[in-house]
Amino acid sequence: MQQQEFKRQLIEWSGPLLRCLAFWLVLFTGYGKKPIVMLNRLYPQLLAGGITLLITLLPLQAFSFEKSKLQKFESLPASVAMQGEVQALFAPRHDIEGVLVKLIHDAQHTVQLAAYGFTSRSLAQALIQAKKRGVRVEVLLDYERTVKERAADRMKIIPELLAGGVMVRVWRAPAHTDGIMHHKFIVIDSASKNATVITGSYNFTFSARSRNAENVLILRNAQEASKSFTQEFNQLYMHAIALK
């Protein structure tokens, strides 16, 4: 049904488009009305027939606007009652980076950080210091943003993290897709009753801290929420590429 509707609309659009082409042909060649008469006579048979044949031969999946409808989704997880504290912060009004550094300094067992953009030297140093205290620190970044684009500010942070013993991996989309790793969250001490989850629009960059309108939710004593974020992190991290 959708394919038939698409064909019908495309054929309807072909008439005005072809007349527009004829107008510009006359304007630039000065051949009078002959091209218009000729195109008006030919376009219903040739253009409509050609477009119909093309659409018939191509599967509907070839059109990008249909790709999302073909995706198979997993069943939704059940909602769970939450206890603990919730704090909402907004950049650039609040010093979000300062709050995140303190939370990482307070980590006792684990820190898992997933980010699309990561250029903050302060956060990098906090992660390195946590690693030196014996905290297990894992960082997951996007391959395209971190490795392929190779921006100077990002390429300074990664060697610094690796030199400090922090495990860094980059997630690369499967070959048949063009997706990115767009998460921005941190899970601290996920196995503890005092687990903390930080999530929102905030990338760990200077722009997010100083210029952009961003939001962060901090969930403290959020063990149930941390389980979901840890599961997502581990699933991506397991298939990501380790940087050395």
Active-site residue flag, 142: no
Alpha-carbon gap, residue 155 to 45, rounded angstroms = 58
DSSP conformational letter for 118: B
Q: Which of 184, 193, 227, 244 is catalytic?
A: 184
Give me 132's structure tokens: 């030196």
Q: Which of 128, 115, 143 is nearest to 208 (CA)?
A: 115
Q: Which of 189, 227, 239, 244 is catalytic?
A: 189
Classify residue 222 as exposed, middle or buried by CB count within 10 Å of its CB (0-12, 13-18, 19+): buried
Longest Cα pair distance anywhere in the chain, in angstroms? 84
Active-site residue flag, 182: yes
Give me 43's structure tokens: 């376009």
Q: Which of 34, 148, 156, 182 is catalytic?
A: 182
Phi, psi of 134, rounded to the nearest 5 degrees: 100, 5
Active-site residue flag, 109: no
Q: Are strands 110-115 and 136-142 parallel, antiparallel or unpaired?
A: parallel
Bond preceding residue 16 cis, omega within 30 of 0: no
On the CB side of 147, CA atoms within 13 Å amount to: 17
Residues annotated as catalytic are 182, 184, 189
